[in-house]
């Protein structure tokens, strides 16, 4: 009998209940008990929704981040959060966001500290809190979170499979702050994992899922040896271990993974059937092989009939040793398609969210256990939906295909090199040394959100909405002028999301009402659905930017999202190469860039926040991706005159190893996250001479903490050691949408004053 299970489930709730609960708690509007009760309710709901699986994941629920959870389970707390008043949850939120919730007893529990560094979870848009190590790091077990959730699940009658991050991946995800070798910590770490597995067994666990996605990346001999060392140390655990890999294929790690001394191995089967066959031939016959056959990262229906054609012989061969699951945790997709009452019915018929994916899994299991006849109606409906999508005239636009075919290399070339452009831009737009700006968005207030809701519901007409947004833009421009910023933005009051806003105005996109996905902590995004060829029917931003510029004599940036980021932050069609979709987006955004320039806008920012997260996990595949990603940005940006200044922005990723490709984008100014990593990005410039201007982010906008003037000056001095001051900008590390005006004003005031101090010290 084929077993079906799940690797993880979305934890935010159908309608983002966790987000709102967390934010209310952080504001001091609800109690600790209310937050924990909400979390327990969401866990119970999630387990109930997964009834019908043979094994249900437990421990995948998190109040902020599963990697941070693992750090606390292992007793790995940064030294800076120790010694504060409060308990483990206070410290948890300090590491996550810089501070806990306000305390009624004024015990100092809300004292601010530097939040943990945040970066992307492999090649996804989920952000995790980076574990911190040094040569003296020790570990100690705190299994209370897992024990409590396991007991809750058992009380609900759930056949629970605890989920933890494996020891080697945990070390691989972290950073040694003193430059020491993380693998030297493995002998200290493994006894804690042994205690954890024993504890889970003592509380009734039969199987434990140990996530080791590091196995789908390039590993040198030391890291490969670490896997052998780790699992030989854990093989005596009194539970069955299922090592779970995902986001790619094992390739040269296949023999290693197949022969680890564990009871089962989960692999992502979406990367090709040859890769699965390779693992199958290496796997000892007594082990379980779990195949991730349904995408945990995209929202298209699975071709169940074709999949069964492949699975039936495997099921015959493996029998009870075959398990089926989604390819990875369903954290990366929305909860329930049935919540979508307003979505286009045709497009909705092509989709599957988390619950529907589990339904597909159950159809597969029934077909394999009882024969296809038992689910023939479901299989027929699946076939009809897929056929309708393939034949839909809404998917393919011949004019778009012709435009992509007509792309020529010169479309991606600026007329002059940066040094010559910089002179013309300075003549057109004189700026002081260390010019100040922001990344684009300003606080999305309750009034802005209410106006948007009223407009969508019809309670506010077009004229009323325009007036409300113009008032917010005027406020934003006025605040920036009062602060003394040098290059202004309009604040993006009219934009719901930096990708969704553009998708709504492009042909080829569809949208959900409740298709929320967690990005980090309480931050959720609603990725648009790229289902067809992309075309821009009309200008999308010009009138808003033109209005904002009319309010000030200072330069006003036109704000756009770049094609690679729109692609990577969408649910992308799976019926053509990603590069082809990206080129379509590049042509559409290029038209917008040129229209902004025609409207007199001389500073245009094209955000590519997601450039790196699209990078394949294997270095051998990097160059192909970077070639077309950089090409698409250049097509978008480089049709303008030399005097027009092009900015781009990137955030929260490891950029040092692709700095040459970033330079090849040839943006006049790049703004980039460096505050949480303490300017670590700038290490790249010790061996690489970045040719253009750069604004290393000096203000961590994902924390409520307000940076001091002295801290900003110190960070910029570090930057000036590697980048000439004449090419440095001063800016936050990301947009200010999620912050409050009461935080933004003092933070930006300190930033502007820091720039003045830097100019005075430079004698200019």
- What pLDDT score does 369 carry? 97
Q: Which of 414, 360, 323 lies closest to 691 in space, CA to CA?
A: 414
**How far from the centroid of its chain's Cα atoms is residue 301's Cα?**
23
18 is in an annotated binding site: yes
- What pLDDT score does 676 carry? 65
Q: Which of 582, 586, 584, 580 lies closest to 568 in space, CA to CA?
A: 582
- What pLDDT score does 537 carry? 96
Nearest-angstrom CA–CA distance, 681 and 679: 5
DSSP annotation of 763 reads T
341 is in an annotated binding site: no
How much is the mean pLDDT over the chain?
94
Nearest-angstrom CA–CA distance, 675 and 697: 6
17 is in an annotated binding site: yes
What count of residues does the chain have?
Answer: 764
16 is in an annotated binding site: yes
Q: Report the predicted TM-score, pTM, of the whole model to 2 decimal places.
A: 0.90
Return the structure tokens found at 242: 């299922």
535 is in an annotated binding site: no
Q: Which of 173, 196, 185 lies closest to 74 in space, CA to CA?
A: 196
- What pLDDT score does 248 carry? 95
Q: Can you name the residues that pair with 118 across neighbouring β-strands?
A: 129
- What pLDDT score does 677 carry? 65
Kindly provide the residue ranges of all beta strands, DSSP E only, lying in 450-579, ordered along the sequence: 507-510, 517-520, 523-525, 529-535, 557-561
**How far from the centroid of its chain's Cα atoms is residue 54's Cα?**
30
Sign of CA dihedral 61, 64, 67, 73: negative
- What pLDDT score does 105 carry? 43
Return the structure tokens found at 619: 């270095």
702 is catalytic: yes
316 is in an annotated binding site: no
188 is in an annotated binding site: no
Share of the chain above pLDDT 70, in %: 97
Low-confidence ranges of the chain (pLDDT < 70): 85, 103-111, 652-654, 675-679, 681, 764
120 is in an annotated binding site: yes
Type and span of the H or E element at 305: helix 304-318
**Residue in 5, 127, 647, 702 annotated catalytic:** 702
Domain boundaries along the sequence of the chain: 3-78+116-391, 415-443+483-494+542-763
Asked if 555 and 604 touch (Cβ cutoff 8 Å), the reply is no
37 is in an annotated binding site: no
Asked if 437 and 698 touch (Cβ cutoff 8 Å), the reply is no
Return the structure tokens found at 456: 């969508």
Three-class DSSP category at 396: coil
Phi, psi of 230 (to 5 degrees): -65, -50
Give the CA angle between residues 664, 670, 672 to the nearest 5°: 115
428-483 pLDDT, tens digit each: 999 999 999 999 999 999 999 999 999 989 999 999 999 999 999 999 999 999 99
Provide the CB-side half-sphere exposure for 357 (13 A, CA).
Answer: 31
273 is in an annotated binding site: no
CATH architecture of 415-443+483-494+542-763: Alpha-Beta Barrel (3.20)
Q: 3-78+116-391 and 415-443+483-494+542-763: same fold? A: yes
Asked if 320 and 3 touch (Cβ cutoff 8 Å), the reply is yes
175 is in an annotated binding site: no
Nearest-angstrom CA–CA distance, 423 and 664: 20
**How far from the centroid of its chain's Cα atoms is residue 330's Cα?**
14
Give the CA angle between residues 608, 609, 611 to the nearest 5°: 65
Task: List Cα–Cα distances, 513 to 15, 341, 429, in angstroms.
Answer: 10, 8, 42
654 is in an annotated binding site: no
Return the structure tokens found at 415: 């007329």
**How far from the centroid of its chain's Cα atoms is residue 58's Cα?**
23
Q: Which residues contact 16 (CB under 8 A, 6 or more apart)?
A: 516, 524
Please, what CATH class does the domain formed by 3-78+116-391 belong to?
Answer: alpha beta
607 is in an annotated binding site: yes
Q: Which residues contact 544 (CB under 8 A, 6 or more apart)?
A: 469, 473, 490, 494
Three-class DSSP category at 515: coil
89-124 pLDDT, tens digit each: 999 999 999 988 886 444 556 667 889 998 889 999
Phi, psi of 346 (to 5 degrees): -65, -50
Residue 546's CB is within 10 A of a number of other CB atoms, namely 17
Nearest-angstrom CA–CA distance, 709 and 714: 9
Residue 746's CB is within 10 A of a number of other CB atoms, namely 13
Q: Which of 748, 732, 665 lies closest to 700 in space, CA to CA?
A: 732
439 is in an annotated binding site: yes
The DSSP line for 192-246 is HHHHHHHHHHHTT-SEEEEE-GGGGS---HHHHHHHHHHHHHHTT-SSEEEEE--
Which is it for strands 529-535 and 507-510: parallel, antiparallel or unpaired? Answer: antiparallel
Return the structure tokens found at 616: 């394949």
DSSP annotation of 253 reads G
Asked if 216 and 247 touch (Cβ cutoff 8 Å), the reply is yes
Return the structure tokens found at 305: 């009939």
Three-class DSSP category at 57: strand
658-693 pLDDT, tens digit each: 889 999 999 999 998 776 666 676 777 777 888 999
Asked if 408 and 400 touch (Cβ cutoff 8 Å), the reply is no
Nearest-angstrom CA–CA distance, 640 and 643: 8
Nearest-angstrom CA–CA distance, 593 and 541: 10
- Give the CA diameter of the chain: 82
440 is in an annotated binding site: yes
Share of the chain above pLDDT 90, in %: 86
């Amino acid at each position: 009998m084929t077993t079906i299970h799940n690797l993880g489930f979305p934890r935010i709730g159908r309608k983002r209940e966790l987000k709102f609960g967390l934010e209310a708690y952080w504001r001091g509007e609800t109690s600790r008990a209310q937050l924990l009760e909400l979390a327990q309710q969401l866990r119970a709901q999630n387990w109930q929704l997964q009834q019908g699986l043979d094994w249900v994941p437990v421990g995948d629920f998190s109040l902020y981040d599963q990697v941070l959870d693992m750090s606390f389970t292992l007793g790995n707390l940064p030294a800076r959060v120790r010694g504060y008043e409060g308990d483990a949850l206070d410290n948890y939120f300090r590491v996550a966001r810089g501070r806990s919730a306000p305390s009624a007893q004024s015990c100092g529990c809300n004292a601010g500290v530097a939040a943990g560094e945040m970066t992307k979870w492999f090649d996804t848009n989920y952000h995790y809190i980076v574990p911190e190590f040094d040569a003296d790091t020790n570990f100690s077990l705190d299994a209370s979170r897992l024990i409590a959730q396991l007991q809750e699940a058992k009380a609900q009658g759930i056949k629970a499979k605890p989920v933890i991050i494996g020891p080697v991946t945990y070390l691989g995800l972290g950073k040694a702050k003193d430059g020491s070798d993380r693998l030297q910590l493995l002998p200290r770490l493994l006894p804690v994992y042994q205690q954890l597995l024993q504890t889970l067994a003592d509380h009734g666990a039969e199987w434990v899922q140990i996530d080791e996605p590091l196995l789908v990346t390039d590993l040198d001999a030391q890291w490969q040896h670490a896997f052998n060392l780790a699992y030989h140390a854990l093989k005596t655990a009194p539970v069955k271990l299922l090592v779970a890999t995902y986001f790619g294929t094992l390739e040269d790690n296949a023999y290693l993974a197949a022969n680890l001394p564990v009871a089962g191995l989960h692999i992502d089967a979406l990367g090709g059937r040859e890769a699965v066959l390779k693992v199958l031939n290496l796997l000892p016959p007594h082990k379980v092989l779990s195949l991730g056959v349904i995408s945990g990262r995209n929202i298209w229906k699975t071709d169940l009939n074709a999949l069964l054609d492949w699975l039936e012989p495997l099921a015959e061969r493996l029998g009870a040793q075959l398990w089926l699951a989604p390819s990875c945790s369903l954290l990366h997709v929305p909860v329930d398609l049935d919540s979508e009452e307003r979505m286009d019915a045709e497009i909705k018929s092509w989709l599957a969210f988390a619950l529907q994916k589990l339904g597909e899994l159950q159809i597969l299991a029934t077909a394999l256990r009882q024969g296809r006849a038992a689910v023939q109606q479901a299989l027929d409906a699946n076939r009809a939906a897929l056929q309708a999508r393939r034949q839909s005239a809404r998917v393919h636009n011949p004019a778009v295909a012709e435009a992509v075919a007509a792309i020529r290399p010169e479309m991606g070339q600026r007329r002059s090199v940066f040094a010559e452009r910089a002179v013309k831009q300075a003549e057109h737009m004189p700026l002081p040394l260390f010019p100040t700006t922001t990344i684009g968005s300003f606080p999305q207030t309750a009034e802005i959100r209410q106006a948007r809701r009223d407009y969508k519901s019809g309670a506010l007409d077009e004229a009323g909405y325009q007036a409300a947004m113009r008032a917010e833009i005027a406020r934003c421009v006025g605040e920036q002028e009062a602060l003394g910023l040098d290059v202004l933005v309009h604040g993006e009051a009219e934009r719901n999301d930096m990708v969704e806003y553009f998708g709504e105005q492009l042909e080829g996109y569809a949208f959900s009402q409740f298709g929320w996905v967690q990005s980090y902590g309480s931050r959720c995004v609603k990725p648009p659905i790229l289902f067809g060829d992309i075309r821009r029917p009309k200008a999308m931003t010009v009138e808003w930017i033109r209005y904002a510029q009319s309010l000030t004599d200072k330069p006003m940036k036109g704000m756009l999202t770049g094609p690679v980021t729109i692609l990577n932050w969408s649910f992308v069609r799976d019926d053509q190469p990603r590069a082809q979709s990206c080129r379509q987006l590049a042509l559409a955004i290029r038209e917008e860039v040129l229209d902004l320039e025609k409207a007199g806008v001389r500073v245009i920012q094209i955000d590519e926040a997601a450039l790196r997260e699209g990078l394949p996990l294997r270095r051998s595949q990097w160059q192909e991706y970077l070639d077309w990603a950089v090409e698409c940005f250049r097509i978008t940006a480089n049709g303008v005159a030399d005097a027009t200044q092009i900015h781009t922005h990137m955030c929260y990723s490891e950029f040092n190893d692709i700095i040459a490709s970033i330079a090849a984008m040839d943006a006049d100014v790049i703004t980039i996250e460096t505050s949480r990593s303490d300017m670590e990005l700038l290490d790249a410039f010790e061996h690489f001479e970045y040719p253009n201007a750069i604004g290393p982010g000096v203000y961590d906008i994902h924390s409520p903490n307000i940076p001091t003037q002295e801290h900003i000056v110190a960070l910029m001095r570090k930057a000036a050691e590697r980048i000439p001051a004449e090419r440095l900008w001063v800016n936050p590390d990301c947009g200010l949408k999620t912050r409050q005006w009461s935080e933004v004003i003092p933070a930006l005031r300190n930033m502007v004053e820091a720039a003045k101090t830097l100019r005075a010290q430079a004698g200019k």
